[in-house]
Structure 1
Amino acid sequence: MSGLPFTLLVPEPPGSPGSTTRDRLADAVAIGCALAYGALMMAIGDATKPGAAVPWPVDAAIGVACCLGLLARRRWPVGVTAAVIPATAVSVLSTGAAIVALFTVAVHRRARVALLLAGAYVAAVPVYFLLHDRPEFPLWVDLVARAGPSSAAIGWGLFVQGNRRLTRSLRERAARLEAEQHLRVDQARLTERARIAREMHDVLAHRMSLVSLHAGALEVRTDARPEEVAIAAGAIRTSVHDALQELRTVIGVLREGAAGRPEPPQPGLADLPELVECARATGMTVSYTCLVPVAGPSVVLGRTLYRVVQEGLTNARKHAPGSAVAVLLDGAEGADLRVRITNPCPPDVRPPTDPSAGMGLVGVGERVALVGGRVEHGRDDAGFRVEAWLPWPA
């Protein structure tokens, strides 16, 4: 269904008409203006003179009824206008109500509907002309008297409608921008949380695995000599101390980075030999081959390499204790920088049950992705492998 008949059946949303003090005040002003305009037209056209085709009390009664009908103009703008227009063929006072009703249609409906109703309003002039004997006013004068004000009312109504649409569009845009801003803030918060989790894992997982290793040895070897117990306890103390130091460093990085200040030095490629020696000191068998100049890669690449190797050693210590670990770094400037950590998988190894298992490799993947690289990890014929490729700009 479409067109004017359909619009007669479609009301405005409930609750909008006359629902506020401002709306009631506007209705009172509209009715007052309609009565004033109709009374002016009656005075100009001598509608109150004796012998008029429609007695002025009848004219006034019809006009007042039409003006009171304007109270429903917001709820049924087209219906009210369609009911008022026929009355204008009989009552001069009702012309004011018709002008206000046309304005309301222009505000709440499409321009085509308002123009069709305005055409019907002007078309009622010949009927009015036949009912009222007015030789002093030609037909064209009445046509202009109706076409002019109705055109002005429709133009004003369309302007109000356009202004309301613009205001509504701006409000929706502002609400959308605010929602997008909240989304960006939430995304930044999630990114920062992931960064903190990654840093905490990289710092604590390696050191805590050392603590767990030595503590487990003390628990199992109840017959250990005092010297061996002292060595293990010293290793635990050193690992905890180093973990606290690195944790303070990470917290400092996060705080200083948020304040826009320089970050404290981070471990890099030059620190890998020390990391390997630390692993060997715990009893691990680690072979380390570096075919890359220490001063070659950037600080960011060096730090990423360090974290990849650290995670590989930690996983080997946790899931394949006693296995030999091989660490290889190679690559060429202008190509990819590769790091590969491999270790045999013991035949009796069981899948990890720790809920946090695998999170370190997730963090490694995120770190490598940040510098445009990629990571592969899993089992192969040689055992378990963690391998990463990082772009090394020339």
Structure 2
Amino acid sequence: MPSPAGVRLAERVVLVVVLVALVVNLVAPLFQDGPVVPAVASGLLSVLGVGLLRRRPVVALVVVSLAGIVASLGGADPTGAWSIAVFVAFLQSLRRLPAVLVGSVVGVTSAVAVALHEGQVSLERPTASIAAVCGVAAAAAGSAVRSNLRWRAELEGRAHDAIENRRAAVDRSVAEERVRIARDLHDSIGHHIAVVSVHLGTAQVTVSEDDRATRASLESARDAVRAVLVETQQVLRVLRRGDAPSDLEPPPDHAGVPALVASARSAGLVVDVTLRGLDRPLAPVVSTAVHRIVQEALTNALKHGGGQVSLRVEIAEAVLIEAANVRADGGGPATGPDHPGGHGLIGMTERATSVGGRVEHWTEGRVFWLRAVLPADAPSTDAALEEARR
């Protein structure tokens, strides 16, 4: 279907021209020499035809076309009535009347009206033929405009359908991939974590009551495993249902940094910590990024360090996170393409970048340094929020 707006605009333009022509056709005979009554009668017939355009389009076309013949039969000039008939031919072709029908009616009546007015039809005076051709051309033009509008509407419809189909295909692929990832997580990581939790529980039961340090260490390990299970279940729910993270528990924030330090110490890591400005409010995405970066820094120190780490977190105009620890293997985590490790550093870098910050790391001798600088405020975009909550 053609664009309704395009059709309405074309109709309004033509109707304005027709109304102007009607006024001129009715008023002009009063100021010209010649028979007035036939000219006025022709004008009134044109007015009647234009009034019937909506309700009786075919009848209206015939009435408007006959107005020129009425003028010629009374000895008046049919030019005004012919002009109105030509514009009406364009309008009615635009409004779905067959162009062949419209062109035939207007073309024949126009030729007859001009021939009656001139009293002859000859090659020397081809006025009648020109009038007929103009009527046919107007009908063809209206049909062509309508076809063009219909073609454009079809193109827009196809483009819209293609976009919707592509979006549906992408959504379907994403949903299938989410289900696959959720299944793999459930079958592999979830299973192994559950097994670790069971073994830790068994070890906790069998250890001596007097060995309090070992029992406390096992309890801390079980708490950590339970926390991992909870987060894994949340991830699985998001993957399977596509729920927004807001439907789950709120994301961690920088207020949880002391708890991270306490957890690392309970795992046996000696943490020399300096915390300043934790009571200052931060943008939610930045707050979550601080928590995750500190968490990953302590995890790296546990995995690769020699049992001791120096941590400094300061929040002022910006957020500064520094961690330094002696590496057990003499260097930092491997981050090259040939090494499977280094994902923690990559994750920290991506998280800092997502909120407009940066992460730097280097090695001085056997000491591995990590520094992250984040803005206190960050753009509250959905993309940054999603990235920070991962």
Please state which band the TM-score falls in when normalised by the shorter chain.
0.3 to 0.5
TM-score (norm 1): 0.46
